[in-house]
Chain A
Amino acid sequence: MDFLVDGRYAYAYTGGCPVGATRPLIVFIHGAQHDHSVWILQSRFFAHHGFSVLAVDLPGHGRSEGSPLASIEQLADWIAQLISTAGLGPAHLAGHSMGSLIALETAARHPEGVLSLALLGTAAPMRVSAALLDAARDDEARAFDMINAWSHSSITVHPGCPGPGFSIFNQNRRLMERQPPGVLHNDFLACNAYEGALAAAAQIQCPALVISGSRDIMTPARAARPLVETLRARPEPRPKATVVELADCGHAMMAEQPDQVLKTLRQFWTELDA
């Protein structure tokens, strides 16, 4: 489904179902150098189980027009604008990696539009190593190798995603390779420069879920601890802050453990409804 945001077309996958204001909205936000398809199984499931779903392609990624935006703050405003343009919301936001920072900042800047946050493969601050930043700028193929090696717990994870017979490892690489040149460096600079995560976490009033992978090298579980501690230190009445660590799971958690990610998200949103 296409939307016009800031004069440019933006694409969001709706999970194979029409969206509507009568159903609660989930917005899935991908990470650096990715697009909506990293959420394929989860977004399709929720769309067929009572939710409106928008799995977005961020500007300059996938099918969305324009140049990639340079900061997490700009991306947060873009998400709020897209929801508004769609005539939907407020929304549950689910973000992966860079997308988790965008979700967090959206909740801080536009609290009226956000019902809850699910932050997957997150870290605060989300520093990108100098070696990876340099590779992203000078040698994208090298950067893709590094990301792929650090994003997967094994070369043999099962089940395949989106189903049997698919190579999770090679799909991730090809998806990265198919984004326009320069996007990766832009995204990593945005992650690296974002200093507002803890301030945003202290400020937000909605429930939050943090999902980490025990074998995540890109954003290790320990790198999410300052964020978790900040969420848990919010003043009363303290909104819920749930932390789940998936065993034997890498950074590419929606592909490596799609059922566990689905189960965790579902439990979180179901309990909020109750």
Chain B
Amino acid sequence: MSQRDYQSFDTLAIHAGATPDLQHGARATPIYLSAAFGFRDSEQAAALFNMEQAGHVYSRISNPTIAVLEERLAALESGVGSVATASGQAALHLAIATLAGAGSHIVASSALYGGSHNLLHYTLRRFGIDTSFVNPRDPDAWRAAIRPTTRLLFGETLGNPGLDVLDLPTLSAIGHEAGVPLLVDSTFTTPWLMRPFDHGADLLIHSATKFLCGHGTVIGGILVDSGWFDWLRSGRFPELTEPYDGFHGMVFAEESTVAPFLLRARREGLRDFGACMSPFTAFQILQGVETLPLRMARHVDNTRKVVAFLAKHPLVRSVAYPELEEHPDYRLAQRLLPRGAGAVFCFELAADRHAGRRFVDALRVFSHLANVGDARSLIIHPASTTHFRMDADALAASGISEGTLRVSIGLEDPDDLITDLKAAFRAAEKG
């Protein structure tokens, strides 16, 4: 760009949303551990409550440290704003609860993180929100599943754990044709690998616990709005286009042309459900985001080396990584993920369950735990942990077998990771 708009990703990752502290000159973002914020006078208090002025009132609704994180992620994702939440699951719940209620319907990919599948398949049904699960690679199934009551299409940019690449341009077009927004979980890709709004998604969530934080320290989530979806034209969302008694008859779509969804998510969802982020958590995630471009490049580089090793190993039946030509989404990944297909993938041991256990137990650098997106390399057996509540059919639909192992490649020396894997293969073979 010839003009100085400072919009390059690496610069935004460090600066967006943060101004130097005017009072003390602190250059890093201070942690504002304050439950509430003082009013200048009674008039300002009333104006803040009535959304006539901008500012902080109470840290469940907004907080200066958290606002820096929210504005930074909005900048990195090319969104109009975001809301930070207590966890990635809280972000998903906030998105759904803002748009759906009893009698509403969701169309979701069958290849989801087990916790998300649980929320949609079991928990939300108890509150009257029904979900149809469809094969993420079958556009006709998505189209056919949409009902008059459908409020959202939902999938993961890279399905957990089979790494199905979601065809965002196709699915968003299907949704928009019906007046339904596409919400994606972009946790595995991060904005460095893919910006879903550039491909038609309308809303996105992250489990910020993962690559955004990057160090496996805190739990957090974020919900970002592209500002693209035309809620008024859709006609499906009276929550945003008609007066809301819970805020003195406010019509959110009149207040903001591009961000009525976020206004309601914050003014209702955070206010009433209360799944807010801690300022300390926001600080930790901000630290991670500052180095996101550097870390993601290394995560992907390490992953490619480990994948190449595993793909040739005789004890490995298959490796599900979209950069491999045999992966069903290889071409789509080349198009949507030119920087890489992330650092989480699954592989299947050509051995029985007992050999699998010996393999996992023999690892010394990889950590055996239920997380991804850490600086450390991680491994888990999905069928017995993250996806254990799914029945056999649902497991198969998610591309998981008894021998599937999910790994998240960290930032260690890749040669050490391969050495660790070699030792584990030897242990598995010994029987």
Contacts and interface: CB of A to CB of B under 8 A. Distances in A.
A156 B266 CA distance: 21
A230 to B, nearest CB: 31
A262 B47 CA distance: 12
Nearest to B227: A174
B54 A155 contact: no
A259 interface: yes
B89 to A, nearest CB: 19
A25 B4 CA distance: 39
A166 B73 CA distance: 10
A41 interface: yes
Contacts of B230: 178
B15 A155 contact: yes
Contact of B53 (A155, A160, A258): A258
A155 B4 CA distance: 10
Nearest to A159: B54
Given A145-B3, A154-B19, A155-B15, A162 B51 contact: yes
B78 interface: yes
Contacts of A146: 3
Nearest to A163: B54
B71 A167 contact: yes
Nearest to A177: B228
A158 B258 CA distance: 19
B7 A155 contact: yes
B257 A175 contact: yes
B166 interface: no
Interface of B is mostly: loop
A232 B255 CA distance: 37
Q: Most chain-B Cβ atoms within 10 A of its Cβ — which of A63, A155, A161, A166?
A: A166
Contacts of A163: 51, 54-55, 62, 266
Contacts of B250: 16
B1 A145 contact: yes
B378 interface: no
Contacts of A178: 227-228, 230, 257-258
Interface string B61-79: 0111011001100110011
A170 B79 contact: yes
B286 to A, nearest CB: 13
A258 B12 CA distance: 23
Contacts of A259: 53-54
A35 to B, nearest CB: 6
B54 A160 contact: yes
B55 A171 contact: no
B74 A45 contact: no
A198 interface: no
Given A164-B62, A167-B75, A171-B80, A156 B16 contact: yes
A83 interface: no
B36 to A, nearest CB: 14
Contact size class for B? 35 or more
B137 to A, nearest CB: 31
A154 B4 CA distance: 10
A150 interface: yes
B146 interface: no
Given A16-B250, A35-B257, A170-B80, A41 B54 contact: yes
Contact of A44 (B18, B52, B80, B84): B52
A62 interface: yes
A165 interface: yes
A162 B55 CA distance: 9
Contacts of B66: 164-165
Contact of A159 (B1, B55, B258): B55
Interface string A33-77: 001110011001100100000000000001100000000000000
A170 B72 CA distance: 11
A145 B67 contact: no
A165 B16 CA distance: 11
B263 A44 contact: no
Nearest to A154: B19
Q: Most chain-B Cβ atoms within 10 A of its Cβ — which of A161, A165, A170, A175?
A: A165
Nearest to B248: A16
Interface string B249-270: 1100011111100110010000
B257 A44 contact: no
Nearest to A49: B52
A174 B258 contact: yes
A259 B50 CA distance: 15
B54 A165 contact: no
Q: Most chain-B Cβ atoms within 10 A of its Cβ — which of A16, A161, A178?
A: A16
A170 B77 CA distance: 10
B81 interface: yes
A122 interface: no
Given A155-B7, A164-B62, A37 B53 contact: no
A243 interface: no
Nearest to B71: A167
B75 A171 contact: no
A91 to B, nearest CB: 20
Interface string A170-192: 11001101100000000000000
A54 to B, nearest CB: 13
B5 interface: yes
A148 interface: yes
B399 interface: no
Contacts of A169: 75
22 contacts: A13-B255, A16-B249, A16-B254, A16-B255, A40-B256, A41-B54, A44-B52, A145-B1, A146-B3, A149-B3, A156-B15, A156-B17, A158-B19, A160-B54, A160-B70, A162-B256, A164-B70, A165-B81, A165-B84, A165-B266, A171-B81, A259-B54
Given A162-B255, A163-B55, A165-B70, 20 more contacts: A36-B257, A37-B258, A41-B53, A44-B255, A62-B257, A155-B15, A157-B19, A159-B67, A160-B54, A160-B70, A162-B259, A163-B51, A164-B54, A165-B262, A166-B81, A167-B17, A170-B227, A171-B227, A174-B258, A175-B257
Interface of A: 13, 16, 35-37, 40-41, 44-45, 48, 62-63, 145-146, 148-150, 154-167, 169-171, 174-175, 177-178, 258-259, 262
CB-CB nearest 9 A-B residue pairs = A165-B70, A149-B5, A166-B81, A164-B67, A174-B227, A164-B62, A149-B3, A45-B52, A167-B74
